[in-house]
Amino acid sequence: MLRNVRDLVDAENGGQTFFSAWRKAPTQSTAAGIWFDLSMSPGNPVPQYYAAAPNISVALSQSTDGGIPHGTNVAGSGMRKYLRTFGVMTPTAAAAPMQMILCDYLLYYPFIDMSVTDYQPLTTAATLPRLKDGKGLQIMAVEVAGQTGAGNPRFNITYTNSAGVSGRTTPLVACNTQLSNGTLITSQPTDPARAATGPFIPLQAGDTGVRSIDGITFMTPDVGLISLVIVEPIENISVRGIDAPIERTPVTDYADLPIIEDDAYLGLICCPNGSLAGANITGWINTTWN
Amino acid sequence: MDSLIAALSAGQTYRSDWNKNALPTTAQVAGQWYDLSTGAGNPMMNSIIGSSANLAHQAITETTSITAASGALGGSIAGTVFTDTTHGSGRFTVGMALSGTGVVAGTYITSLGTGTGANAGGTYNVNISQTVTSQTITGTAVAGGLPHGGDVGALNKHLLNASAFSSATTTAPAIMMLYDMLACYTITSVTTTGAQSFTGQAAWARYADGSGVRAFLVPSVVMGAGSPTVQLSYTNSASVAGRLTPAAPSLPVINTTAPVGSIAYAGTGVGKYGPFLPMMAGDAGIKSVQSINFSATMTSGVMNLVICKPLAYMPITTVGVASERDFVNMLPSMPRIYDGACLHWAMYAGAATPVNSSFMGHIDTAWA
């Protein structure tokens, strides 16, 4: 565990560090202000598409699925791994300004049919592989087969919270009208009756995390499929322009060192200022453990 | 801070400007890592890589040199082509300075012809047109690191700041990594499968305990067809032997026909890593290497295992805009530069980078 700057310096001088560069080149057309899941875009690391049996949970891990490399497991050595730096840059004007969040993707429920208006129970065959109590975990709804978005379909989710209480229900959220796969479908909906939600679906009042998802109910049907993904937001960064790299050093920026769990599957979500089709988004992370 | 100001006031500082080119014959691919040490520019290209005997330990400092020679009456130059008609000793590499009776001073190998280092009859292109009749021609390889101010003995030298920029088109974005090259193992037995043991082992001249030391593979002669997995056996910085490149999620996979200067397993997809070979869980460095195992033939080419210590990195976002690191104010601050350090750059291409694209920058060091 890093307790002070001396520990940090010693850890880095001791080689307990890992550097990883990443590059994403989305092919999907995105829109200004609508969050997008870059884990579904080509580049490095290779994309993943939430492809598995419908409505049954699947866990994601670095050792089996990839993601942005962050070094090997360290808990077995009695250590803990931290995010030291997180940087990004892009020469693509349409991308900036752009907010990005580095997430640990833990569990997803694939191919949920948006045309079904009955309650759809979801099966938690695989449980959270990390952060098992669910504290701080959020749900994002990722479009994996194009909707029409007509009528701003609304839905809510029932889930088990981080206190282990099942039957918790999210507020009713609405879908945006974006058609591209990878869209976080509840961000910036045009339904005036529903507030914009950002990347994550709001939880029931008082809840601070999600342990599993129990089911989903669409109020109006649409074509299309979504995957519900449970993630841990780790760190955010803002690309302000195309003429300078942006680097986050949590220890000096926030007096904080976000923890990277062993075998975490790291990916990025972003909120661009326009279409990212053909964009080049390149960055890096640096981890340290002690 | 007082010590730093005193050192700077006393002149214990050194500025070194550099200019290195991207690969000379093959455009760099977006999403891959490259070793710029073998690129043209200033400092001159590292010709040590690829010059030593098969699987033999070659320690590297900024002053290391190594020779190769044609046999007696076995070498000649006609125009800009040097022919190693009868090979004598060592291995010729790109960047080697040539000498011998009648050889114009300043002559060096600019690129490979049919030569692969030690093949009799192999040809090499040189920079100065001339006619040299058959005789012994000697090549001298140098490590070609960035100058950083010479040895400082009992004092400690540190990196204060560094910059990198490029004015060539489509070179951005890129990420540059400064490293200290510690050793190299040339691997000519690239058709051999199974574990191949390294020879002539010696402790690293710097970072002898292996803390923070990493390894990468880079061709010095373009590789042939074949995309084997590779697994390195090493001793970690805690002196635990028998450590292996982990097989999960995948062993590194060599890129088929990997060009000279490319990190051979970097890129996008399963089995692609960069820039360094993965290590086992919990390992923080490489103290020594024991063997390397390719799962299948690479048909031809010359591969090199390079041992290094990464020191710093910096991004280049925009063509024509300099990127600078201030290591005095970074945490941890001021990476140490050891006496004899052989400093080179690796590069992560964020965009397709044309051949011979020029990158420039500087480093500042100080010691006290």
Q: List, as one string, the DSSP characters of A181-208.
A: TTBBTTSS---TTS----SSPPPPTT--
- Residue type, position A5, single letter: V
**Could you state, in order of their start, the residue ranges of all structural domains in chain A?**
5-15+27-275
- Residue type, position B47, single letter: S
Instruction: Give the number of other CB atoms < 10 A from CB of residue A208.
Output: 12
Q: Which residues of chain A are within 8 Å of residue B175 when distances are taken between CB atoms?
A: 21, 282, 284
- Check CB contact under 8 Å for A14 and B284: yes
- Choose the mutation target among A243, A254, A282, A290 for the interface with B, i.e. most B CBs under 10 Å: A282
- Check CB contact under 8 Å for A72 and B283: yes
User: Cα distance from B317 to chain A (closest Cα, Å)?
Assistant: 6
Burial of A100-135, coded b for 16+ CB within 10 Å and e otherwise, reads bbbbbbbbbbbbbbbeeeeebebeeebebbbbeebe
Tokens 């945490």 correspond to B331
Name which of A17, A66, A73 is nearest B281 (Cβ-Cβ).
Answer: A73
**Closest residue on chain B to A77 (Cα):** B282
Rounded average pLDDT over A26-46: 93
- Check CB contact under 8 Å for B279 and A242: no
Q: Report whether A282 contacts A47 (CB < 8 A).
A: no
Q: Report whether A13 contacts A7 (CB < 8 A).
A: no
Name which of B30, B172, B279 is nearest A23 (Cβ-Cβ).
Answer: B30
How confident is the model at residue A95, as a pLDDT?
Answer: 87
| Contact pairs from chain A to chain B, CB under 8 Å | 120
Integer Rg of chain B from CA: 20
Rounded average pLDDT over A194-222: 91
- Check CB contact under 8 Å for B313 and A69: no
Q: Report whether B157 contacts B350 (CB < 8 A).
A: no
How confident is the model at residue B329, as a pLDDT?
Answer: 84
- Check CB contact under 8 Å for A72 and B282: yes
Rounded average pLDDT over A260-286: 95
Q: Which residues of chain B are within 8 Å of residue A251 when distances are taken between CB atoms?
A: 331
Give the mean pLDDT per block of 10 residues along chain B (368 residues). Answer: 90 94 85 92 90 96 93 94 96 94 95 93 96 95 93 95 85 91 97 97 95 97 96 97 93 96 92 93 95 97 97 88 86 89 94 88 95
**Closest residue on chain B to A48 (Cα):** B269
- Check CB contact under 8 Å for B237 and A79: no
Closest by alpha carbon to B191, among B303, B285, B96? B303
Name which of A77, A87, A243 is nearest B318 (Cβ-Cβ).
Answer: A243
Q: Report whether B367 contacts B152 (CB < 8 A).
A: yes
**Closest residue on chain A to B347 (Cα):** A21
Name which of B210, B237, B317 is nearest A91 (Cβ-Cβ).
Answer: B317
Q: Where are the alpha helices (DSSP H) in chain B?
A: 2-9
Q: Which residues of chain A are within 8 Å of residue B30 when distances are taken between CB atoms?
A: 23, 25, 280
- Check CB contact under 8 Å for A15 and B269: no
User: Cα distance from B283 to chain A (closest Cα, Å)?
Assistant: 8
Name which of A15, A44, A87 is nearest B212 (Cβ-Cβ).
Answer: A15
Tokens 């002690």 correspond to A290
**Closest residue on chain B to A279 (Cα):** B351
Instruction: Give the number of other CB atoms < 10 A from CB of residue B324.
Output: 12
- Alpha-carbon span B295 to B194, nearest angstrom: 6
Give the DSSP per-residue string, A124-144: -SS--SSSTT-BT-EEEEEEE
The first and second tokens of residue A115, run together, are 């045309």
- Choose the mutation target among A10, A18, A22, A23 for the interface with B, i.e. most B CBs under 10 Å: A23
- Check CB contact under 8 Å for A74 and B281: yes
- Alpha-carbon span A175 to A157, nearest angstrom: 13
What percentage of chain A has pLDDT greater than the value 70?
Answer: 99
- Check CB contact under 8 Å for B274 and A73: no
**Closest residue on chain A to B177 (Cα):** A19
Torsion on CA atoms B52, B259, B212, A106, rounded to nearest 10: -150
Identify the DSSP state of A284.
E
Per DSSP, chain B holds a count of helices (H) and strands (E) of 1, 23
Q: Which residues of chain B are within 8 Å of residue A250 when distances are taken between CB atoms?
A: none
User: Cα distance from A68 to chain B (closest Cα, Å)?
Assistant: 10
Q: Which residues of chain B are within 8 Å of residue A90 when distances are taken between CB atoms?
A: 173, 317
The first and second tokens of residue B80, run together, are 């800009």
- Check CB contact under 8 Å for A90 and B31: no
Q: Which residues of chain B are within 8 Å of residue A66 when distances are taken between CB atoms?
A: 249, 270
Name which of B313, B321, B331 is nearest A251 (Cβ-Cβ).
Answer: B331
pLDDT at A195 over 70: no
User: Which residues of chain B are at the A interface, by a Cβ-Cβ cutoff of 8 Å?
Assistant: 30-31, 33, 172-175, 177, 210-213, 237, 246, 248-249, 267-270, 272-274, 278-285, 310, 313, 315-318, 321, 323, 330-332, 348, 350-351
Alpha carbon distances (Å) from B203 to B57, B206, B239: 10, 8, 12
Tokens 């032997």 correspond to B241
* Residues recorded for chain A: 290
In which band, very low, low, confident or very high, does the pLDDT at A196 lie, cut at 50, 70 and 90? low
- Check CB contact under 8 Å for B315 and A245: yes
